[in-house]
Structure 1
Amino acid sequence: MSRFKARERLLAIVILVLTLQPSWSPVGAANILAVQTVPGLSHWNVMRSVLRPLIEHGHNVTAFTPFVDGDRDNYVEVDMSDVMRVHINENVTYVRGKVSTTATFMAILINITRSYCDVIHEHPRMTEILTAALPSEFDLLITQPVASKCVAYVATVLRIPLVYVVVPAVFTDLERSISGQFPNPATFGHTLFPRAIPKTFLDRLSNTVLTVYCSFLLRYNEWWQKVSDPRPYDDVDLIKPSITFTNAHYITDFSRPLTPDVISIGGIHLTPPKELPKDILEFIEDSPHGVIYFTFGSIMMISSLPVNVQKAFMDVFRKIPQRVLWKSNKEIEDLPPNVMVNKSFPQRDILLHPNVKLFICHGSISGVYEAVDAGVPVLGFPIVYDQPINMKNLVDAGMAISVNMFSITNDTLLTAITELVNNESYRNNAKVASKRFKDRPVSPAESVVYWTEYVLRHNGAPHLKSPAINLIWYQYFLLDVIGTLLVVAFVVWITIQYICQLIFLSFCRGKEKRE
């Protein structure tokens, strides 16, 4: 009897332990190294959102980042803010000038990526990690690629699986090196192409030229960097990512074929709504005509816009009946009475309020997802990189209008705002997009946990990779096969011609003899 009771007590203890430890991982608590290679707050918000569910699931994360949140259970930070310049409140005109041409932009992408790789690799803590005896203390590396493959160096040295987190929804320049596939320029717009889907012959032609040109520029710039300023990672056969989490979703991006190792987690940064501060809530709810929220995110500084552009916004805001929440890095003189300005607003919570009628932004993917999730129409002023194509996707969804920032007038701005606020079709289409965006089998956070642990369970999951990743470019496009077939066809044609000539000559000689 006492033995039976002892078993009961033991079983109760086991059940209690299992109940109190729901965060235990099926693969055990892994040690994950995370490296933030892009010092932009929007990029870090996505990376942080990827790491959060892994931490909550019991994994230990060591993160190299310039955005310090503070150590906590299962999470340790290596502060990089003193050696990585954080991109916040940049001058709009300066940024636009720096990326005025495609060639300049591609060169900058390579230079920035390699320079931050150098900074990270030379950090004392990273040097300690890289020079420690194998096997490494870490089981997995999570990092963000931009252009150069140097971000894979740490995983290559430590001989651990690599996971990529790609923040732009459209990542055409990375597809070949990540999944082995080359984007089809007949069906998918390049990241820098102004249209999401090429619809005409001229669209397909220009998109093809742009795609090939950008691919060439990236390869050329990286080759030139290797020749002119070689680094240790240039002489190493860098490993490929086991999986890639891409901040994409087919509602705000176009539907495209992806290999199994590419997992879409668009909107992972979206958090549960919180209660709005009292002053903001009253400002919103006391507006009988609704509210407009206006921001250019954390990177672009609105006060750096040309004076005529700022004046156009001020003049138009005075004329409209809606109230405006304007996020600005500095105070604005002669502010219209219907405008509230602040350096920081709870953007996510504001957009979810039913009295918000319009979102004015620059088209960054994080803000786009927040607008789509909330079902709010968008007036976009895209400036650089993926912003134009992000806005074009919303325009195609019927929930947005996209305008050239540097050519706006009072009339064009007022017309766009009036159309978006008063035409119910934009809000209805936004609500449809919101329903589709939220309709998923699992949340992005659950996808991150499952697929990260899948890689850990299956030793890097090499079976997910496409065989195309190992093909040289001319093999991938079958140029060697096509060339061989052309040579064979040429030889056959020459042979047939030669035989025909012999037959013809023989016939002519025979005819002469008969005559």
Structure 2
Amino acid sequence: MHGFVKYKFLLILFLLPSDFTPVCGFNILYVAAVASPSHHIWNRALAFELANRGHNVTHIGPDQDDVPKPHNYSHILLEGVYEELDADFDLNQMATYSALKMMIEFENWCISQCSFSLKSNGLRELLNYPSDFKFDAIILDVTAGACFYPLIQRFNYPPTVGVTPFLLPSYVSYNFGKQLSPVYIPWYCLPYSSEMSFIERVWNFVLTYADVALRYKRQYPEEYKEAVKVFGPNLPPMENLERHISLILANTDPVLDYSHMLPPNIIPVGGLHTKKSNILSEDLKQVVEEASDGVILFSLGTNIRSEKLNGHMQNALLKAFQDLSQIVIWKYDGEINDLPKNVILKKWIPQNDILGHPNVKLFIGHGGALSTQEGMFHGVPMVLIPFLDDQYSNAKIIVKKGVGVSIDLKRITAEYVLSTIREVLNNNKYTENAKNISNIFKARAETPLQRGIFWIEYVIRFKGAEFLNIPLRDLPFYKSSGLDVIVFLIVIMVTLLTLLYKIFSFLLFHCFGTEKLKQQ
């Protein structure tokens, strides 16, 4: 009997998946307060996987889920945030903003979101947990600022991990000790690539550091004022609370993004949300598989609504689509009169699942990080129409990698859109490059999701990972950049040159000037 039990146990071990690692379940608070459905999709992938690993996950954020959830996953809703923010969101106006204007508006948006979130009943529910309630770890989406950092103090400083689905923005990387590289890493709102002219590098340098300065000097103080109203006057500075965060899981990857020189406490998990496609519903499956010339998927993501595009843009797109032989599936929450026969409107689409179908020939999108990563994961060439923020930089990445072409929003006409689409459809290099990137991305020892889970559990087990932080994280800008040394050396050099000039002038005057005086 004992022998049977022994062999049964060995059989169970043999049948376990190769990546299975037994862990004890931890209580994890996942704070994903950024009002962006695409950010929620990324954070949800990580939160669900933690729950599937046996951890108890309490997820707080402004998004509601209509998907099956793990039994040990619970969600606290920050209600009303979207309604408040949408009131001031004008897509067509924002698309005309300069880079500097976008920077200021984005920070205003972060501050407003902070104010609305802190007033929610959802946060009040979390704060009403018993004072001795223990979370073994906190995960914080740090993309929109420091608004929820006070939860670290509220729950007695458990091990904390930061995450950002927003690739790796300059203000996040700088706060965690990365040396900024404006020489070749474009600031996220600029339509530059890694190869910049001198003037572009000047603008990129100025805006990169201006963004960091505004976060520290304007946004953090404003969010601190709002947080004190909720968490009380004994709140430490936001910078002190941020210093408790052990590491950052960033949605960046050298295959999908630009290559960064990263310190040990910034872990790249780009494309963490990407996954194999599921079987399509019968109606979509029929449309996709019966399209003799293939399918084009057109989706502007979750934050940009196609129905809010002005009439000129919509008419230009429709005229271009009607001259295509492919079926166009357009994510559109509304109705359009005189819709071309080859265009199908859907209020909601399973984007990942459609992109994974082999009959999809092209993806037309807005250049959001998560959408472009899904396109590259599935090896689908793209035409991108960036509207705001990081979409310009993401579109440049796609163009640089030869995976697609970008459309200038301000120049949109039917002819322009149609010629761009045909350029990508009729040139095999875009499809070949997309398939190659897909194969490279998938050929790795671990998935980005597995890497993220490993580091979260690592931080919990060892009560933090302070040793990963490099000294640059705690140095002011003038030290971390070497500016003080450079200024000192310049002063020394100028002083020496001035001294040499005076000595040389003195010698010339006394050697040659006196002779001239004697001759006179």
**Normalization by structure 2: what TM-score?**
0.86
Deviates more, 1:79-88 or 1:191-200: 79-88
For 1:74-473, list aligned pairs within 5 A. 74-82=72-80, 85=83, 91-96=90-95, 101-112=101-112, 114-115=114-115, 118-119=118-119, 123-129=123-129, 132-133=131-132, 136-157=133-154, 158-177=156-175, 179-222=176-219, 225=222, 231=228, 232=233, 233=235, 235=237, 237-240=240-243, 241-473=245-477
Query: SS in structure 2 opposite 1:384?
Result: coil
How far is 1:12 from its partner?
Answer: 7.0
Deviates more, 1:310-319 or 1:119-128: 119-128
The amino acid that maps onto 1:164 is: G
Query: SS in structure 1 opposite 2:473?
Result: helix
Q: Tell me how far apart the structure 2 counterparts of residues 121 and 98 of structure 1 sit (CA, whole Å).
A: 34
Q: Are the structure 2 counterparts of residues 16 and 156 from structure 1 closer, same or farther at C-alpha, using a change threshold of 3 Å?
A: farther
The amino acid that maps onto 1:104 is: I
Q: Are the structure 2 counterparts of residues 322 and 152 from structure 1 closer, same or farther at C-alpha, using a change threshold of 3 Å?
A: same
Deviates more, 1:498-507 or 1:440-449: 498-507
Q: Percent identity?
A: 28
Counterpart residue number, 1:35: 31
Q: Tell me how far apart the structure 2 counterparts of residues 367 and 274 of structure 1 sit (CA, whole Å).
A: 17
Unmatched segments (≥5 aa) in structure 1: 508-515
The amino acid that maps onto 1:238 is: L
The amino acid that maps onto 2:437 is: A
Q: Tell me how far apart the structure 1 counterparts of residues 31 and 225 of structure 2 sit (CA, whole Å).
A: 26
Q: Are the structure 2 counterparts of residues 106 and 346 from structure 1 closer, same or farther at C-alpha, using a change threshold of 3 Å?
A: closer
How far is 1:270 from its partner?
Answer: 2.1
How far is 1:273 from its partner?
Answer: 1.8
1:25-49 deviations in whole A, cap 9, x for unaligned?
6552111001111121100111011
The answer to whether residue 75 in structure 2 is matched with residue 68 in structure 1 is no
Equivalent pair of 2:142/2:163 in contact (CA under 8 Å)? yes
Query: SS in structure 2 opposite 1:180?
Result: coil
Equivalent pair of 1:33/1:62 in contact (CA under 8 Å)? yes
Q: Tell me how far apart the structure 1 counterparts of residues 221 and 44 of structure 2 sit (CA, whole Å).
A: 33
Q: Are the structure 2 counterparts of residues 317 and 502 from structure 1 closer, same or farther at C-alpha, using a change threshold of 3 Å?
A: closer
Q: Are the structure 2 counterparts of residues 286 and 472 from structure 1 closer, same or farther at C-alpha, using a change threshold of 3 Å?
A: same
Q: Tell me how far apart the structure 1 counterparts of residues 50 and 226 of structure 2 sit (CA, whole Å).
A: 37
How far is 1:148 from its partner?
Answer: 2.6
Q: Are the structure 2 counterparts of residues 494 and 333 from structure 1 closer, same or farther at C-alpha, using a change threshold of 3 Å?
A: closer
The amino acid that maps onto 2:283 is: D
Counterpart residue number, 1:56: 52
How far is 1:449 from its partner?
Answer: 1.8
The amino acid that maps onto 1:414 is: L
Deviates more, 1:409-418 or 1:113-122: 113-122
The amino acid that maps onto 1:111 is: I
Equivalent pair of 2:170/2:212 in contact (CA under 8 Å)? no
Q: Tell me how far apart the structure 1 counterparts of residues 255 and 69 of structure 2 sit (CA, whole Å).
A: 36
How far is 1:214 from its partner?
Answer: 2.0
Q: Are the structure 2 counterparts of residues 390 and 117 from structure 1 closer, same or farther at C-alpha, using a change threshold of 3 Å?
A: same
Q: Are the structure 2 counterparts of residues 493 and 115 from structure 1 closer, same or farther at C-alpha, using a change threshold of 3 Å?
A: same
Q: Are the structure 2 counterparts of residues 316 and 428 from structure 1 closer, same or farther at C-alpha, using a change threshold of 3 Å?
A: same
Query: SS in structure 1 opposite 2:128?
Result: helix
Q: Tell me how far apart the structure 2 counterparts of residues 17 and 375 of structure 1 sit (CA, whole Å).
A: 37
How far is 1:281 from its partner?
Answer: 2.1
Query: SS in structure 1 opposite 2:126?
Result: helix
Deviates more, 1:195-204 or 1:343-352: 195-204
Equivalent pair of 2:166/2:251 in contact (CA under 8 Å)? yes
Query: SS in structure 2 opposite 1:242?
Result: strand
Deviates more, 1:73-82 or 1:448-457: 73-82
1:325-350 deviations in whole A, cap 9, x for unaligned?
11100121111111111111222121
How far is 1:15 from its partner?
Answer: 6.4
Identify which of 40, 61, 64 aligns with 1:44. Answer: 40
Deviates more, 1:210-219 or 1:89-98: 89-98
**Normalization by structure 1: what TM-score?**
0.86
Query: SS in structure 1 opposite 2:437?
Result: helix
The amino acid that maps onto 2:313 is: V
What do you get for the CA RMSD once the two structures are aligned?
A: 3.5
Q: How many residues align?
A: 500
Q: Are the structure 2 counterparts of residues 116 and 139 from structure 1 closer, same or farther at C-alpha, using a change threshold of 3 Å?
A: farther
Q: Are the structure 2 counterparts of residues 501 and 355 from structure 1 closer, same or farther at C-alpha, using a change threshold of 3 Å?
A: closer
1:100-153 deviations in whole A, cap 9, x for unaligned?
714532432441353256246982222224x713xx510110121124323322
Q: Tell me how far apart the structure 2 counterparts of residues 20 and 338 of structure 1 sit (CA, whole Å).
A: 48
The amino acid that maps onto 1:64 is: I
Q: Tell me how far apart the structure 1 counterparts of residues 122 and 51 of structure 2 sit (CA, whole Å).
A: 27
How far is 1:97 from its partner?
Answer: 6.2
